[in-house]
Amino acid sequence: MAVTAAKSLLAASALALAGLAVFSYDQSKGIAATAGKAQAAGGQNAPINACALLADDEVSAAVGAKVTPGERRDAGEVGGKGDYAPLGTYSSTCFWQFSADAVGDDNPTLPMGGKRFAILNVMVWPAGGDDSAKFLQSFRDAFKHDIIPSDPIPVDIGDEGLWWGDGVASRKANKSFGVSVFLQNGDKASQRKMEEGLARKIVGRL
């Protein structure tokens, strides 16, 4: 994959999986409002709801702390809006914040102002294609082109899975997902354990 293509695909992946983290806490509220409109437009006919794949108490148990109720932040139909997703691609995102971090000083140098959170994005790709596999491959290509710092490590989750340093990505049939936990303390090993545990629950429900 060419560098420009890899950057385009990974940028889309990063936005879907953890892109909310690059915004300040106040900005994310605006994104949530925009996403809420997309969710309402999709209504019950939307192909998937990321928040339905994990219960709030399951997230709390995984991270060892109480979290706020899952907040759905769908991008909706994303196909044709860039060169990474064909028409018929739907993106659904669910966001949980550690309840103890609901009030506190923001740190603009950290994702979400330093508040701890978990995020799940699910992509439904057009049936019959190999887009879910391309999604996983994009992380490997991104490492080769120095777009992400960690070489993805294979994990036995779904049809194919990997841990890319800031989350677990997996695919099953024409669906793919990424789940990340941000502890904001640099403890990647603990985050990976949490992410893999959540990913194994998710993949069984796709």
Q: For 75-126, what is each residue's pLDDT tens digit?
A: 888 887 666 688 889 999 999 999 988 666 677 777 788 889 999 999 999 9
Question: Chain centroid to CA 4: how far?
Answer: 22
The CATH code of the domain that includes 13 is 3.40.1000
Query: Is this prediction's pTM over 0.85?
Result: no
Between CA 97 and CA 15 the distance in angstroms is: 18
Between CA 20 and CA 31 the distance in angstroms is: 8
67: which DSSP letter?
B
Is it the case that residue 203 has pLDDT exceeding 50? Answer: yes
Q: Are 31 and 72 in contact (CB under 8 A)?
A: no
Range of the domain at 34: 3-203
Q: What is the pLDDT of residues 127-163, one digit of tens each?
A: 988 999 999 999 999 899 988 888 999 999 999 999 9
What's the structural domain count of the chain? 1
